[in-house]
Structure 1
Amino acid sequence: MIRSNFLFVRSISPLSHHRNPLSPFAVSYSSFNLPESSMETNSKDSQEPKKDQHKETARDIDPLKKVSDDILPHILNLYGSCALPRDFEIYAPDASFEDPLMCAHGVKQIKSAFYSLSKVFSESRIVEYNIKENILPHGRREIVIDNKQYYKFMGKDIDMISLIKLYVEDGKVIRHEDWWNKKPLWNRDTSNVPLVGRIIEMARRGSMLATHAMMKFGKDPTS
């Protein structure tokens, strides 16, 4: 790890896999070819000092702490169709999630969005990724994950390039965007015709509500 003016760079060696606004502070990582295991963690055991019992606020957060280290393993589980209830604890209660098909508001709807993956695909996971973490004003963070996702649908292998953008406040994700093929999400602000953008927004909301109902309104799977 090289330190220079608060810039950190980390590289993770390749592993086997199945085919398939900003500030002067930045943290970047890279990793390629993840295995099918759902979660990758780094042990910080007893060397990590005890935290104070009070709630950690934006002012308390160490500007050099890599928030993505804590969040990334859960993101890998979500996209790997093996999410557990604890994986959704990374989100603030009123967090939002958007991709080209869905627009979810609140943790329960986000649960429905990701729990539905295993209903549609026989396999899914992030197989390659690069991470950049930026410090925003007021202690917020932006985590950008440039990645490749793998899906198997009706026996066919599907590889998709994606750009996942996570906005974090007080250690919790408040907004999660997934840009397929790295293209910004269409809405009234990004569309050349605002009316078309609104229609697309409504369609994505309708798709989310239908999925939410199908997934029993974000109910966690039982053993």
Structure 2
Amino acid sequence: MRHLHLLSAAALLVVAACSKGGEKPAAEPPAPPPTPMAFVTVIYNIPKDAKAFEKYYWESHIPLVNSKAAEIGFTAAELTKFDATLDGKAPTYYRQAVLWFKSMADLETGIATPGFAAVGNDLGNFSTGGLVGMIGEETSDASALLTGDTTAFVTVIYNHPKDAAAFESYYADNHLPLVGRGASEMAFTRAELTRFTKNLDGTPATFYRQAKLYWPNAAALKTGTGTA
């Protein structure tokens, strides 16, 4: 699938600082890397009754999450609904919800609260198709997460590779630069790269990585995914 390869990871755009020739300033000690933001995500399978799911989700579950937000301590939330696969078929999954925390330490504190337990216990009241709950970390620039979201996106959820080291090497050295070179043509407005660390119950993560490219609307996404 031509477009799947091109869009199977979000671009981490690297900007290199350039200096003119001549005397070089004294090197300053490198700043410590920022603490990566951490997240809890739930990926919902297709429910038995989508209408009933949506009704309970918006009228009961989301208000419950909002009422526990201060106790849980997340800093941002993303609620998304999948429309189709990249080749136009019915979506593999139904919805995804993500709660973002400033750090993994904050996440671990948040998911140990009674408020988070109440949210988790509520999932069975409407997720009739089942779900996958995971924990992970942002592996690209997290600054855009706190500035709002865009409305349309393409995402790829990676299964575990046979060789994780080889995957990461190719991903960083070849695939992300490839997507970066096509960024202006595709005209996406934000990129998000994440890696799952474990399932919510502490077992090994069901999936390996996720990548998203965001556009301001569905029309822009259609144009961007139609590029060569």
TM-score normalised by the chain length of structure 2: 0.29
Larger radius of gyration: 2
Kindly indicate whether structure 1 or structure 2 has the higher relative contact order, using CA contacts under 8 Å at least 6 residues apart.
2
Higher strand share: 1
